[in-house]
């Protein structure tokens, strides 16, 4: 992985990587890769924490329950409030978090999250 990511010509771009499979068990190795190469750890933060806090953070949400992905999952208001609480913790140290819903209800879930965030006084774009 280090060789691959080192070969990328960035020209100011921020690179993120979402490790799949058993990679999440290799916490020390992941931390080394993300730190050495200045890469954002893309993670489903409702399933596990990122190994490193970066600016920005990037959360890609695949649904809750069962397997690693559950594209049919529709996030509840409780899920979204939990997500906002997690975001608030990170926003103590950083300024930006990108969130992508990777499920069938992505647009609806994103709009509901934006509404809840505004009610909580968080800046949303």
Whether residue 30 has pLDDT greater than 90 = yes
What would the pLDDT profile of 58-115 be if each residue is shown by its tens digit? 999 999 987 889 999 999 999 999 999 999 999 999 999 999 999 999 999 999 999 9
Assigned CATH class of 2-119: alpha beta
| pLDDT tens per residue, range 2-18 | 888 889 999 999 999 99
- Taking Cα atoms as reference points, which of 12, 17, 24 lies closest to residue 1? 17
Q: Return mean pLDDT, the chain.
A: 94
Distance CA 21, CA 25 (A): 9
HSE on the CB side for 69, CA within 13 Å? Answer: 10
Share of the chain above pLDDT 70, in %: 100
Per-residue pLDDT at 19 exceeds 90: yes
State mean pLDDT over 24-46: 95
pLDDT of 67 reads: 81
């Amino acid at each position: 992985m280090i060789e691959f990511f080192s070969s990328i010509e960035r020209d100011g771009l921020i690179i993120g990587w979402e490790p799949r499979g058993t990679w999440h068990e290799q916490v020390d190795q992941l931390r080394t890769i993300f730190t050495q190469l200045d890469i954002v750890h893309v993670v489903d933060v409702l399933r596990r924490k990122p190994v490193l806090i970066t600016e920005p953070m990037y959360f890609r949400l695949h649904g809750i329950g069962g397997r690693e992905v559950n594209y049919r999952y529709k996030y509840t208001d409780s899920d979204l409030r939990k997500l906002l609480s997690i975001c608030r913790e990170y926003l103590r140290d950083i300024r930006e978090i990108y969130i992508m819903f990777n499920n069938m209800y992505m647009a609806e879930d994103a709009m509901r999250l934006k509404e809840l965030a505004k009610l909580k006084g968080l800046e949303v774009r």
